[in-house]
Amino acid sequence: MIRSAKMSRYSPAEIEARWQAAWEKDDVFKAVRSAEKPKYYVLEMFPYPSGRIHMGHVRNYTMGDVIARYKIATGHSVLHPMGWDAFGMPAENAAMAIGGHPKDWTYGNIADMRDQMKPLGLSIDWSREFATCDPEYYGQQQALFLDFLQEGLVYRKNAIVNWDPVDMTVLANEQVEGGRGWRSGALVERRELTQWFFKISDHSEELLAALDTLDNWPAKVKLMQANWIGKSRGLQFAFSTIDAPEGFDRIEVYTTRPDTLLGASFVGISPDHPLAKLLEKTNPEIAAFCAECRKGGTTEEAIETAEKLGMDIGLRVRHPFDTSWELPVYIANFILMDYGTGAIFGCPAHDQRDFDFATKYGLPIISTFLPAEDADPKVTEAFVPAKSEKVYYNGKFAGETWQTGEEAVAAAIEACEAQGVGQGVTKYRLRDWGLSRQRYWGCPIPVVHCDACGVVPEKKENLPIELPYDVDFGTPGNPLDRHPTWRNCACPSCGAAAKRETDTMDTFVDSSWYFARFTSPHADTPTVMEDAAYWMNVDQYIGGIEHAILHLLYSRFFARAMQITGHLPESAIEPFDALFTQGMVTHEIYLTRDDKDRPVYHLPEDVTDGKLADGTPVEIIPSAKMSKSKKNVVDPLGIIASYGADTARWFVLSDSPPERDVEWTASGAEAAFKHLGRVWNISTRTTEMPKDEEGEGDTDLLRAMHKTIHDVTMGVESFGFNAAIAKLYAFTATLQKSKAGHTAQREAIMTLAQLMAPMTPHLAEEIWTAQGGTGLITTAPWPKADAAMLIDDTVTLPIQINGKRRAEIQVPADMPKEEVEKRALNHEAVLRILDGATPKKVIVVPGRIINVVV
RNA sequence: GCGGGCGUGAUGGAAUGGUAGACAUACCAGACUUAAAAUCUGUUGGGCCUUGUGCCCGUGGGGGUUCGAGUCCCCCCGCCCGCACCA
């Protein structure tokens, strides 16, 4: 039994540890399957174990915690787990930079971060914790991989990587800086390797169509995913070539704008197109050009922003509608082999990129449609109207003369098919997911290369294939490749000596099913159907908008793949019922300049009133993402030490809407702390009040209380935490000024504590106990607003004249519209402004507003 | 370059298409105090005059829809996120 000390001053350091111990002792956050209660699964995107928590974590996990605690109070059986996205490059980089081993570094960081997280008082079931680098986890991931392989969901093909020719190693995109390797500074090249792929593209249509079922996802995320999948309807057809090398008498192209076929002025192929590859073998000029095109990074951004280069390879093709019309063929660096057929036709009049290209290489620019019938067909820039806009087609082709782009495309496909020129095709931009990584600190791909049997899956009983510990990071590249013995194994098929695959998996694989693993985190199969069926789906998923596409799309694919392989029920193929994307925590940047005018950054604690300790004024850059290099960081541990976790939790929720960035300010944190102190003082005052004296305004206080219950409940349910907190501030002020009697005040302060409990659980427990509440506030039922107390007898309606507010009237809430209108028109100010004029129209929105139009 | 989002007082922000600026910070003023801190109370978008129950302007800029726009539509500017090997 917990007895609070005699209440005097609000001292979080003392109460927070005590209540955390109480929750742990009672196991209140242990997720238990229950037959009576509805379940609720709340999950925040798990962190990378960098070693230090930052304010962004505090905000993210506090939001999830508010939901979890609210759901506990509303009678749910709650699953709120935590784990670690623990594989990845930073651990290897640390090993290279400062020595040590990725495993030791990672587990050390996890221990540190767990220690930093626990004082926040989060409602997490720590018994379910795991790290993706635990062999227990990644062994099950290997089992999933083998099942996917058997189902044909995984295959091998060649793909392009960034190659550092000096370090002789593959580079991640972030390791390519301005087209050069980050360590060696060498110009990066593109190189082909055989790699493993998940067949996510087989599910393009499904993943696109199912977005419509995700009612509780932000529309922007669904839109981004839809655009990423990129479904298009176009025409695939061939240009016949003139005197081309053998096997290339046709060049297949795909276009989404067949209606512009009469504006074609050249054919472009990718430097990786089979024809380009053939020609570069014998033609040194073409070889040099292709090599030039292959310089630089592999990102779409790098390719799209690079200067457009092309080379006329001398080959000519015939236009499908006019065999006397010949077009040149260019190799061009902006054409992707991965999309369509790796070949396009260029229509400079209606595509800005083609326009720039044609201008550069002196190619003809032929208009096929115009904004108006009498518009000048001479083109000075690409005319690219929305596809839904009607335009005038000046060349004879297909469909109406005046039609939208969409109509024209459909008509063009139909016409081409009828003439035997190609066929209508639906394509998707989404590519298969390359999962091979030539790195050590990841989940080993459980396959074996046998001279006799080829690529053979490892036997499940040999899992997990564990990473060897004795590796060296002295030289760049994958230490698994260099390991003296680890690769050696017996072929699972024929038993002969064979070699292990040394590639490991993309860390996106690790994070694509962890949410399912949390439902049975220590099982010896990836999931347990019964547990998965009970806890899935995640009812509320919370994380950063930066994961809007890849992580969420991959997870959606994995849920389908796991369903196909019998690891998830059909009901869980859309694993996240509701998604919320939260904003960042930002802070001002403080800087001075050195003698060369370079910025010198200063920590917030070294700056007071815009000055350093020695009086030097600092430049201030507002609202910047917290980053170590800019020194605009606030350490949550320091804040917890000064003010307590409740203050940190309260502040990160109070100042901004959760989906937007919040600026951390010292004064804001101070204010949050003061406010919690005020609430504490009200509780103390209540306990010291005479118990049997009559007060004044009991009903007014309780009315305000019920309104607050209503508003805060709505706020929590709709992620309006900042608005909910504003209501709590207002109610605190009302309570503080109230002269109500003890019974009403006690009810008010206990209710206030309950409404605050999801945000400031320690303070809430302390007040609950001080007021004689039963049990823990954490498990006490959420207060219910009394509907009768929410209805006002009279309402104040603003009166607008021509949309400008000119007066207001008080009327009974249930007064009929006609009566309200009559009263408004007889209002003194209204009569004065109307000055005898007759209103043309009077709009009365009951309970809202009156607008008089003259 | 392409896709998505955001932009409101000195500051963070509030506002189912219906009183723009709730709530908080900061500032200023007052109470308490020998004083300071702490605490409490109050004022504060800009402008105008005739100081009123007053008028005009005001939600990045420009245009539009509507009785009514911060909110919806179009164009522009700025910032942020993503672009498939960062997590």
Cis bond leading into A283, ω under 30°? Answer: no
A312: three-class secondary structure by DSSP: strand
- Section A661-685 average pLDDT: 85
Look-up: residue for tokens 């899992």? Answer: A463
Q: A665 to each of A264, A285, A589, A656, A668, how far by Cα in Å?
A: 58, 61, 12, 12, 5
A606-637 pLDDT, tens per residue? Answer: 776 667 777 777 766 666 666 666 676 777 88
Q: What is the DSSP string of A727-749?
A: HHHHHHHHHHH----HHHHHHHH
pLDDT tens string A771-823 = 999 999 999 999 999 988 887 778 888 888 888 888 888 888 888 888 888 88
End-to-end CA distance of chain A: 71
Q: Please choose, from the candidates A200, A156, A196, the residue with its C-alpha nearest in 3D space to the C-alpha of residue A560.
A: A200
DSSP state, A795?
E
Question: What are A166's two structure tokens?
Answer: 């000096």
Q: What percent of chain A has pLDDT over 70?
A: 95
Q: Which residue has the tokens 């004029």?
A: A837
pLDDT of residue A371: 78
- Tell me how far apart the alpha carbons of residues A457 and A447 are, in angstroms, rounded to a whole number: 4
Please check the confidence at residue A536 and state whether its pLDDT lies above 90.
yes
Whether the beta carbon of A828 falls within 7 A of nucleic chain B: the reply is yes
- How far, rounded to the nearest angstrom, does the alpha carbon of residue A359 sit from its chain's CA centroid? 40
ipTM entry? 0.90
Per-residue pLDDT, A5: 38
Task: Give the C-alpha separation, A822 to A595, whole Å.
Answer: 75
CA dihedral A125, A127, A133, A136 (to 10 degrees): -140
For the segment A191-195, the average pLDDT, to the nearest whole number, is: 92
- Residues A541, A732: Cα–Cα separation, whole Å: 31
From the CA of A845 to the C1' of B19: give the distance in Å.
13
Task: Identify whether the C-beta of residue A520 lies closer than 8 Å to the C-beta of residue A528.
Answer: yes
- How many residues make up chain A in this entry? 854
Distance CA A772, CA A12 (A): 20
Return chain A residues 161..220 having CB < 7 Å to nucleic acid strand B: 161-162, 170-174, 193, 195, 219-220
3-state secondary structure of A63: helix
Residues 6+ apart with CB under 8 A from A826: none
Q: Which of A57, A144, A92, A117 is nearest to A510 (CA)?
A: A144
Name the E strands within A15-135: 39-44, 77-79
Q: Identify the three-state secondary structure at position A170.
A: strand
Is the separation of the CB atoms in A790 and A816 below 8 Å? Answer: no
Query: Using the CB atom, is residue A545 less than 7 Å from strand B?
Result: yes
Task: Supply the pLDDT for residue A453.
Answer: 94
What is the CA A723 to C1' B22 distance in angstroms? 9
Average pLDDT for A192-196: 94
pLDDT (mean) for A197-201: 97
Closest of A48, A120, A115, A32 to residue A83, by C-alpha: A48
The first and second tokens of residue A580, run together, are 């919320």
Q: Nearest CA to A565 among A577, A573, A575?
A: A573
Rounded Cα distance between A466 and A446, Å, is: 10
The encoded tokens of residue A687 equal: 């306990």
Strand B at less than 7 A from CB of A668:
yes
Please provide the average confidence, as pLDDT, over all residues in chain A.
89
- What percent of chain A is modeled with pLDDT above 90? 54
Average pLDDT over residues A448-465: 95
Residue pair A89/A441 in contact by the 8 Å Cβ criterion: yes
Residue owning tokens 């002792």:
A25
For residue A452, pLDDT over 90 is answered with yes
The residues of A between 546 and 585 with beta carbon within 7 Å of nucleic strand B are 546-551
Is residue A266 scored above 90 in pLDDT? Answer: yes
| pLDDT classification of A392: cutoffs 50, 70, 90 | confident
Q: Is the pLDDT of residue A4 over 70?
A: no
Nucleotide nearest to A50 (CA to C1'): B87
Q: How distant, in Å, are the alpha carbons of A218, A604, A718, A833 from that of A68?
A: 20, 33, 14, 55
State the average pLDDT over residues A412-434.
93
The answer to whether the CB of A128 falls within 8 A of the CB of A153 is no
* pLDDT at position A2 over 50: no
Rg (CA), chain A: 33
Give the pLDDT of residue A7: 42
pLDDT mean over A700-721: 90
Closest amino acid to nucleotide B4 (CA–C1'):
A224
User: Which of residues 348 to 377 on A have a Cβ less than 7 angstroms from any strand B atom?
Assistant: 352-353
Residue A191 corresponds to which tokens in the numbers above? 């190189």
Enclosing H/E stretch for A345? strand A343-346
User: A643 CB contacts (<8 Å, ≥6 apart)?
Assistant: A12, A669, A670, A672, A673
DSSP A145: H
Gap between the Cα atoms of A589 and A391, Å rounded = 51
Residue A624 CA to residue A112 CA, distance in Å, equals 26
Query: How far is residue A335 CA from its own chain's centroid?
Result: 29
For A516, half-sphere exposure in the C-beta direction (CA atoms, 13 angstrom radius) is: 33
Say which residue the tokens 């509701």 belong to: A578
Parallel, antiparallel or unpaired: strands A585-593 and A599-602? antiparallel
Query: Is the minimum distance from the CB of A436 to strand B below 7 Å?
Result: yes
Residues 445-504 of A with CB under 7 A from strand B: none
pLDDT band of A695, cuts 50, 70, 90: confident
Higher per-residue confidence, A323 vs A398? A323
Q: How far apart are CA A770 and CA A689, in angstroms?
A: 13
pLDDT-derived band at A598, boundaries 50, 70, 90: low
**For chain B, which bases have at least one atom within 7 A of a protein Cβ?**
1-6, 11-16, 18-20, 22-26, 38-41, 53, 55-56, 67-69, 80-87
Contacts of A718 (CB under 8 A, 6+ apart): none
Contact A370, A392 (CB under 8 A): yes
Is residue A571 within 8 Å of A536, Cβ to Cβ?
A: yes
Protein A805 CA to nucleic acid B58 C1', in Å?
A: 15
Strand-pair partners of A447: A457
User: Residue A756 CA to B37 C1' — how many Å?
Assistant: 29
The pair of structure tokens assigned to A296 is 């630089």
Whether pLDDT at A342 is above 50: yes
The span from the CA of A840 to the CA of A309, in Å, is: 66
What is the DSSP-derived secondary structure letter of residue A579?
E
Q: Among A382, A408, A452, A178, which Cα is nearest to A299's?
A: A178
Tokens for A26, please give them: 């009672």
Cβ(A85)–Cβ(A442) under 8 Å? Answer: no
Angstrom CA distances, A454 to A193, A484, A498, A588, stand at: 17, 22, 10, 58
Sign (positive or negative) of CA dihedral A561, A562, A564, A570: negative
pLDDT band at A3 (very low <50, low <70, confident <90, very high): very low
Place of tokens 């005040």: A745
CB of A281 within 7 Å of some strand B atom: no
The answer to whether some atom of strand B lies closer than 7 Å to the beta carbon of A223 is: yes
